[in-house]
Amino acid sequence: MSGATGRLDRTARVHVAGHRGLVGSAVVRELRREGFGDLLLRTSGELDLRDREAVRALYAAERPAVVILAAARVGGIAANAARPVDFLSDNLRIQLNVLDAAREYGVGRLLLLGSSCIYPKHAPQPIPESALLTGPLEPTNDAYAIAKIAGIVHIQAVRRQYGLPYISAMPTNLYGPHDNTDPRTSHVLPAILRRTHEAQLRSAPSITHWGSGTPRREFLHADDLARACLFLLERYDGDDPVNVGTGEDLALSELAELVAGVVGYRGTITWDTTKPDGTPRKLLDVTRISALGWKPETSLRDGIEETYAWLKTVTTPVG
């Protein structure tokens, strides 16, 4: 810890990069709830974070004091496997541009959000932060993982070379309102939720999900991550990334049954084993953030119910 920790000035200008995404929108809600009144927000149409000079111009003009880097090109297993170049190139550029501009224009505190996919495919379970770079990555998302690992190392390098109190956090699988629910590009929970919702609307007798259903995953509501972001900015100042999760996981087959119960779907659930499973298990060791005094507030069922209520307002059945 250092003098960088402590209650953030609620009048400080905070740039939330990626504020319209699942995580960014949750962060904005949390900051406003906590009394932050000077939020610097730009849509991707107003500011392409891949454009180095555009990012520098924004920071030169607006001089944010705090940055939460939630912007990223993200997607599920199918999207990562199909477009690895996009996931590598876009995420590297976003991170480089924001981190360099932040350092150049005097940002005092910065939090970079990564992903639990940075850890080796066969990391010990639960996965401690020390597992980083100790083994091969999951091949279906290695390009995205490498980009996020580069972001962590960039944070560590800035701390070492410039002494700036920038930090990084690695959330587990996220979900919540405003998530991407496109079955072709979304992550597993929103994909299962949308598929089940549409099967219910069509009274389909059965539904098929990807893989075997045996992989185990941990899920964190985006609002809990948003609370963790502010918590870490005020309580943590260290070189190592910090895992953010619930410390609990379940098999995807169990998740599918839970989602079906929330939706009210009573058909048969089957699994397409010709599709990849990805990492067998991915449960984060949350000892570090727990020791600081943080814990999640949203149960998985409550979070899925909230997400489903939102989903029903924004989707129509696919014919």
Q: Which residues are annotated as a binding site?
A: 18-24, 113-116, 148, 171-174, 187, 195, 210, 217, 277
Catalytic residue among 144, 166, 175, 236: 144
Question: How open is the CA angle 156-162-164, to the nearest 5 degrees?
Answer: 70
Q: Which residues are annotated as a binding site for substrate?
A: 195, 210, 217, 277
Q: Record the tokens describing residue 96, joined without a space.
A: 């480089």
Distance CA 18, CA 71 (A): 4
Q: Confirm if 185 and 78 have CB atoms less than 8 A apart.
A: yes
Distance CA 275, CA 160 (A): 43
- The DSSP bridge partners found for residue 166 are 110
Distance CA 81, CA 137 (A): 13
Q: Looking at residue 301, what is its pLDDT?
A: 98
Q: Is 265 a catalytic residue?
A: no
Type of residue found at 72: A
Distance CA 24, CA 42 (A): 11
Best CA proximity match to 121, nearest among 107, 101, 140: 140
Distance CA 62, CA 52 (A): 16
Q: Looking at residue 77, what is its pLDDT?
A: 67
Distance CA 220, CA 174 (A): 5
**What domains are there in the chain, each with its CATH number?**
14-176+219-247+283-297 (3.40.50.720)
Distance CA 100, CA 147 (A): 16
Distance CA 215, CA 227 (A): 28
Q: Which residues are annotated as a binding site for NADP(+)?
A: 18-24, 113-116, 148, 171-174, 187
Q: Record the tokens describing residue 212, joined without a space.
A: 């075997």
Q: Looking at residue 316, what is its pLDDT?
A: 65
Q: Looking at residue 186, what is its pLDDT?
A: 82
Q: Looking at residue 278, what is its pLDDT?
A: 80
Q: Looking at residue 85, what is its pLDDT?
A: 92
pLDDT digit of tens for each residue in the chain (319 aa)? Answer: 345 889 999 999 999 999 999 999 999 999 999 999 999 999 999 999 999 999 999 999 999 999 999 998 876 666 667 778 998 999 999 999 999 999 999 999 999 999 999 999 999 999 999 999 999 998 888 999 999 999 999 999 999 999 999 999 999 999 999 898 887 778 899 999 999 999 999 999 999 999 999 999 999 999 999 999 999 999 999 999 999 999 999 999 999 999 999 999 999 999 999 998 887 889 999 999 999 999 999 999 999 999 999 999 997 655 4
Q: Looking at residue 3, what is its pLDDT?
A: 59
Question: DSSP characters for 101-159?
Answer: HHHHTT--EEEEE--GGGS-TT--SSBPGGGTTSSPPPGGGHHHHHHHHHHHHHHHHHH
Cis ω for the linkage preceding 126 (within 30 of 0) = yes
Type of residue found at 109: R
Q: Looking at residue 170, what is its pLDDT?
A: 97
